[in-house]
Structure 1
Amino acid sequence: MTAMFIIGTVVCAASTLICWIMTALRRHPADSSIISLAAIELFLFAYAGYAAVRQSGGASVTGEAWEFWGYVLTALILPIGVFIWAVLDKTRWSNLVMSLVGLVVFVMIYRLEEIWWGSAL
């Protein structure tokens, strides 16, 4: 396991937990849920930057580069799209939908690690 995967797992798990708690406690999108989405987005920017530096230094991914960067781009778009949706849907359930970002991004990070290193963790 790489340090970036571990950090991503912690960020995604914390975001999911925060959003689940806010689903139970709030009747509208909670600021803490939105901030947890921002934390995921910041992590993804750091991950993309790390990957870009690594690849520009000559290291390559084991899988297909287009697939790797497709996952990165999709993961970067996901929190933004869900944030926009949550702002438009001001119900309790927007917190629950925001929690799914943490779960989906975790799976995407796992897949990115498979593409990057060539095997499951």
Structure 2
Amino acid sequence: MTTVITFGTFDVLHVGHLRILQRSRALGDRLVVGVSSDALNMSKKNRQAVFSQDERCELVANLRCVDEVFVEESLELKRQYIEKYAADILVMGDDWAGRFDEFNDICRVEYLPRTPSISTTAVIEHISGMAGGNA
């Protein structure tokens, strides 16, 4: 059985998230997803997530392509997470290309292209614009 692991914030879940998770799952038999903790998200993005880590975990866990979800507490713990879940493949978006190549010693590292023209920031900005009557 091939286990794939990936990580992300997955705030304001959108089709880009769904597609990368589906493509990740297609690489193996089991998909494990690390969802950034609220604190990690704040340190990475310098803003609070719209949804709490518990809500984001619940949303991701209920996607058909996802087999297991856990809270990612720190970027520095990636190696331990890969080992704990016995991952054969680490998948990240290509905006992280090269950043996790150090893990090639314990698993295959794949960087998948992001869905063009969609991002959580863009979705939040669009919703904010609609709320302000600019839609």
TM class by smaller structure: under 0.3
Say which structure is richer in helix. 1
- Normalising by structure 2, we get a TM-score of 0.25
